[in-house]
């Protein structure tokens, strides 16, 4: 069986359950603006498009319109706070490391392609002891483009030493499915992440509800690719 050489992961809501720390940082900046905190469940699905968009969405819920300068200031405040609390409560999703071990034994390499800033992504994965598992960790600022622009995925794969023709994307939301489709890469959707549109409605090639199911999903897509 021919396995892809590169499996590329989204970060927030796919590899790591980062919602507790991201929402804490969001509520920190809202509080500084004199606004009430957002409930965890309603804020959870606002995650996935980067810090600036998360803040914009949080302000919209409160009916707050802000200037570009104020949004820039709030984003800086958010990042400063979040960087200091990046792994207070964030943890890898259950079964992740076992799944990575199984796939590595089958010859896969791994990369991260996220709309989080690269240095924050590396800091998070460093603190969780996961950085060494990935051949490349690339964020929205790495190449100057964000998902779903296919360039970010193409360049991430190249940096990891892989090839698009033998790549599978794993993600939890629209930008992940979109970047995979635009790059011509099959995509596995995870059902436990952060999305305002149910991942099943986005029609990924495979759906998984737990990381234990990831190796089988990768192998299934690999068999299809090897026959085409």
Annotated catalytic residue, options 10, 21, 172, 176 = 10
Nearest to 43 by CA among 15, 20, 71: 20
Mean pLDDT of the 131-155 span: 97
pLDDT digits (tens, 9 = 90+) for 144-196: 999 999 999 999 999 999 999 999 999 999 999 999 999 999 999 999 999 98
* Mean pLDDT value across the chain: 93
Mean pLDDT for 91-111 is 97
What is the pTM (predicted TM-score) of this model? 0.93
Q: Is 132 exposed, middle or buried (0-12, 13-18, 19+ CB in 10 A)?
A: exposed
Give residue-wise pLDDT tens across range 200-222.
999 999 999 999 999 999 999 98
CB count in 10 Å sphere of residue 114: 31
103 or 228, higher pLDDT:
103
Burial 24-56 (b: 16+ CB within 10 A, else e): bbbbbbbeeeebeebeeeebbbbbbbbbeebbb
Task: Report pLDDT for 227.
Answer: 62
Q: Determine the Cα–Cα distance for residues 45 and 78; give it in Å rounded to an integer.
A: 18
What was the pLDDT predicted at 45? 82
Q: Higher pLDDT residue, 187 or 45? A: 187
d(CA 8, CA 217): 14
Residue 3 has pLDDT above 60, yes or no: no
| Known active-site residue 70 | no
d(CA 123, CA 63): 33
User: What pLDDT does residue 48 have?
Assistant: 73
Distance CA 172, CA 201 (A): 12
Which residues have C-beta within 8 Å of that of residue 181, sequence separation ≥ 6? 148, 187
Complete domains list, the chain, with CATH: 6-18+90-227 (3.40.50.1000), 19-84 (1.10.150.240)
Q: Identify the pLDDT of residue 4.
A: 65
């Amino acid at each position: 069986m021919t396995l892809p050489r590169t499996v590329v992961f989204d970060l927030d809501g796919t590899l790591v359950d980062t919602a507790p720390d991201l929402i804490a940082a969001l509520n920190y900046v809202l509080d500084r603006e004199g606004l009430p905190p957002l409930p965890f469940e309603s804020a959870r699905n606002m995650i996935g498009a980067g810090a600036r968009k998360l803040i914009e969405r949080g302000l919209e819920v409160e009916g707050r319109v802000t200037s570009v300068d104020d949004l820039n200031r709030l984003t800086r405040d958010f990042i400063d706070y979040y960087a200091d609390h990046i792994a207070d409560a964030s943890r890898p999703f259950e079964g992740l490391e076992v799944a990575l071990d199984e796939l590595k034994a089958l010859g896969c390499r791994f990369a991260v392609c996220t709309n989080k800033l690269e240095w924050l992504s590396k800091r998070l994965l460093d603190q969780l002891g996961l950085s060494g598992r990935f051949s490349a960790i690339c964020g929205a600022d790495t190449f100057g483009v964000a998902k779903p622009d296919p360039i970010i995925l193409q360049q991430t794969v190249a940096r990891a030493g892989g090839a698009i023709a033998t790549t599978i994307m794993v993600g939890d939301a629209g930008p992940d499915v979109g970047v995979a489709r635009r790059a011509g890469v099959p995509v596995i959707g995870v059902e436990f992440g952060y999305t305002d549109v149910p991942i099943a409605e986005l029609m990924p090639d495979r759906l998984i509800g737990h990381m234990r199911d990831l190796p089988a999903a990768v192998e299934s897509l690999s068999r299809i690719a090897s026959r085409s």
